[in-house]
Amino acid sequence: MRKLIILLLSVVVLGLAGCSSKPENTDTKNTPTPTPIATSTPEATKKPETTPTPEATDKTEDQTGIVLTDTYIVGTFIEKSETYPTTISFKEDGTFTSNVNVCSGMLDVTGTYTLEGDTVSLSIPNETGIYYLDHDQPFKFIVTKDSLKHKTDEAFSCADVGDYLPKE
């Protein structure tokens, strides 16, 4: 029985050691990466393809659904990616929710943000089990009413596009 338990634990450890959230990381630390459980299906986050109408192309900043002041943001941005785009929703109270593409699926995370000038910094206080989300914080973006763009090389989404548009 003991040999069976040791064998099962070895298989689990080897399976976790083979998984990687961010393959380009050349860090030599041997930190096990737990396998995340996707909390939503990627298909649910896909945006349906539509042909823009003339009214949709003549939007003003007030019609983007994004409220941006000196101290807070309200609204949702969606990553410019064809497959499994990450969404980030900001609230006036300084919190955000996000459905993040973490390579092995989509993961819902919550956290806080700070806004300083045109830079918004995202922090995730609870461990997610995804190495880069837990250790590459804070994630910094340049924010306007029309876009959200990565400010540094630390990618928030596995798609690593770095550009987000207001969600319609």
Q: What is the pLDDT of residue 23?
A: 47
Q: Which residue has the higher pLDDT, 15 or 109?
A: 109
> Cβ(33)–Cβ(16) under 8 Å?
yes
Q: What is the pLDDT of residue 160?
A: 84
What are the tens digits of pLDDT across the range 48-101?
Answer: 444 444 443 333 345 678 999 999 999 999 999 988 999 999 999 999 999 999
**Could you count the other beta carbons within 10 Å of the beta carbon of residue 63?**
13
Average pLDDT, integer, range 99-106 = 94
Average pLDDT, integer, range 143-160 = 88
pTM of the predicted structure, to 2 decimals = 0.62
> Cβ(129)–Cβ(142) under 8 Å?
no
pLDDT at 10 over 50: yes
